[in-house]
Amino acid sequence: MPKLHRYLSWSILGIFTVILIVACGRPSNFPESDRSTATSVESCRLVSHEMGETEICGEPQKVAALSPHILDSILALGVQPVAYAETKDLNIQTYDNPASQIPYIGKWVTTQPIGLGDRKSPSLERLTLVQPDLILGEKWLNKDEYPLLTQIAPTLLFSDERADGQQVWQQDIEGIAQALGREAQAEELLAAFDPQIAQARAPLQPVLQTYPRVLLIGSNLTTHVYSQPESTTGRLLKAIGFEIVQSPGIQGNAEISWEILPKIETDIILVLSWNNDSFSHPEAILQEKWAKNSLLNSMPVFQQGRVYFVDYQLWGSNIRGPLTDRLILEALPDLLLNSIESK
């Protein structure tokens, strides 16, 4: 799904209410750089992020993650969240069973983080009650609330977007790690990426030789379909060696029409699926709709069993972290080797 910038809708009364809650919830002598009075000056460091520089001392113990991407990154670095905001408001007050409540990466959560609602509008009131040591978020999601967030705790906003528009966790993992005091763990994650790609590439060699061209689209099959070459899956497939194809004249993650799909020459189609009415297994719903669509089910690539439906939440660009890469790379061989087995 394309990135949507949140429309600022706070009323004046609402803003003053939050400010009042924050003011009552924390001491008046609470400068941003003095969260840990017991920490020596030597352990303090200035951390650069998208909103400037923030001084952090020691290793924060109560970290709030304001998006799935941030949660993935801190979990990969060995840090557990005290509060968390998802891609949509799941109306969860406390993630008391995170393995089932947080899609895909919840199995790595050992705490019971407080639910903050939607990543585009995390609850400032609940954050204030949690009293975190550190708040981590993304600039494109949280820049409007940044002044209020900094009144609750030191807040750092990051961006994983490179100059070419590709979102990659390697872009901001070192900054996140520095904020958490986990620089060594970040170096390990960066060093492990190429071996993970090589491990996934080895069993996929038969597919690479026979069906090297892959079309990536994101869709709910009712209103929109988007070309998704710059998704997390697109980045990983290119690193493995696949050719990511697009419709002529289409660049990047752009909207396309259904009528174009049969005209695109490709060996494999991966459909990154979402369902506006469901947060669970949208790929099954989309596969059923595709099979009933006369235009789509007549495509040779579909009839030959080389159209695969996966969940956008993981395979698209919602989570985008080291753990996401690991899960996709582990799943790709089993998924795509069906192309050869059914030949």
Is the predicted pLDDT of residue 260 greater than 70, yes or no? yes
7, 10, 4, 3: which is closest to 148 by C-alpha?
10
**Domain formed by 202-341, architecture:** 3-Layer(aba) Sandwich (3.40)
Residue 41: per-residue pLDDT: 54
Q: What is the C-alpha separation between 312 and 233, in angstroms, rounded? A: 10
Is the predicted pLDDT of residue 31 greater than 60, yes or no? no
Is the predicted pLDDT of residue 30 greater than 50, yes or no? no
Q: Decide: 219 and 226 in contact? Cβ < 8 Å.
A: yes
**Domain formed by 34-191, architecture:** 3-Layer(aba) Sandwich (3.40)
Q: Decide: 266 and 212 in contact? Cβ < 8 Å.
A: no
What's the whole-number mean pLDDT along residues 42-59?
92
86 forms bridges with which residues in the sheet?
118
Write out pLDDT tens, residues 270-321.
999 987 665 667 888 888 888 998 988 899 999 999 999 999 999 998 999 9
Q: What is the per-residue DSSP string for 108-148?
A: G--S-PEEEEETTS--HHHHHHH--SEEEEEHHHHTTTHHH
Q: What is the C-alpha separation between 181 and 74, in angstroms, rounded? A: 11
Q: What is the C-alpha separation between 201 and 121, in angstroms, rounded? A: 39
* Region(s) of the chain under CATH 3.40.50.1980: 34-191, 202-341
Contacting residues for 222 by C-beta, under 8 A, at least 6 apart: 276, 289
Q: Decide: 326 and 200 in contact? Cβ < 8 Å.
A: no
**Region at 314 (left for phi over 0; alpha for psi -120 to 50; beta for the rest):** alpha
Is the predicted pLDDT of residue 144 greater than 80, yes or no? yes
> pTM of this prediction?
0.86
What 3-state class would DSSP assign to 245?
strand
